[in-house]
Amino acid sequence: MLQLHTLERYKDDQGNEIVYDGEVRREKIDIRFKGSNNTLVIDARADIKDLLVTFSGDNGRIEIAQTTKKRAGLRFELRCGHESLIRINENVGCAGRTFISAVEGVTVTIGADVMFAKNIEVRGDDTHPIYDVRTEKRMNPSRSIVVGEHVWIAKHAVVMGGVTIGNGSVIGFRSIVTSSIPNNCVAVGAPARVVRRNIAWERPEVVPRRPNEEYPRKGEKSEQYWNLTDDDGVQEGSPVVRPRPPKKRRWTRVLPAPVRRLARKLRSS
C-alpha cells in the first residue's frame, strides 16, 4: 500500500494519479493506494479541511469539485473500490467528517450545494456479504446512490445503497434512508419516512436571530430549490406515508367509571 500525506499533483508507475493544481496541503491529508490505475481529481478551489481517501482496488475514480461559496469546508473519509466512482459536486459543506463508500463498480453522486452535518455515512455497500443459506446466493449486493442538489442531511444519518434523494429535501437526525425520497420534503426515522412535503430550506442559521423575526431575509431565498414535491418521481417501493386521520374518541371514555361498568354489563346482557 502506498500512503501519501501531501495533497499535490502526483503519478506513479502503477498508474495511480492525483490531479490537483491548487495550493499544496499537508494538514489532515491521508491518501492511500492499494491497487492500480486509480485517479483522484480535486479542483484547485476545493476547500479541503480534512481528507482520508482509500483506493481499495483498481480503476477507481474520485472527483471533488470547487467551493465558490461560503461553506463549512470539505471533511471526508472516502473509500473507492474496483471500477467505482465517487463524485462530489460544487459547494458541498461538511460540519464533520462524512464517510462515503463506493465499491464493486457502483457510483455515489453528491449533488451541488449539499449540506452534511456530523457523523454521516453514505454507503453503497454493507462492507461484508450476507447470504441465503438455502441457495448460497448473495443477498446484499452493492448499489449506487444519488444525493440530489441542496439536500440537508442531519447528524448521525445514514444513506444506504440503491437510494435517490431528490433536490431540496431534508433528512432528519439519526435517520436511516433505505428507499428513495422525493424532492422538497422532510424524511425522518429508521427507516426514513416522508413526514412533510412542499418544503424548502435555507442555510442561514436561526441561532442569532431575534424572536418573531421575518423569514427569509432579503437575498436568502434560493429560488431554484423552492418547488412542490413530486411524489410521482419516487421510485416504486419508496416510503411515502400519507397523513392519518385523527382517531375518533369513544364517548364511553368520558363517562365516570361506574357508568362505564354498567354500560358494559348492558351490552353483554
Distance in angstroms (rounded) separating the CA atoms of residues 142 and 140: 6
Q: Which of 113, 99, 236 is nearest to 164 (CA)?
A: 236
* 150 included as an active-site residue: no
Distance of CA 257 to the CA centre of its chain: 52
Residue 230 cell numbers, joined: 413530486
Distance of CA 241 to the CA centre of its chain: 20
For residue 73, the surrounding DSSP H or E stretch is: none
Q: Which of 72, 122, 118 is nearest to 92 (CA)?
A: 72
Catalytic residue among 5, 82, 128, 150: 128
Distance in angstroms (rounded) separating the CA atoms of residues 12 and 6: 15
Distance in angstroms (rounded) separating the CA atoms of residues 259 and 35: 79
Q: Which of 141, 51, 150 is nearest to 99 (CA)?
A: 51
Look at the alpha carbons of 107, 79, 81, 162 in this order and tell me if their dihedral is positive or negative. Answer: negative
Catalytic residue positions, numbered: 128
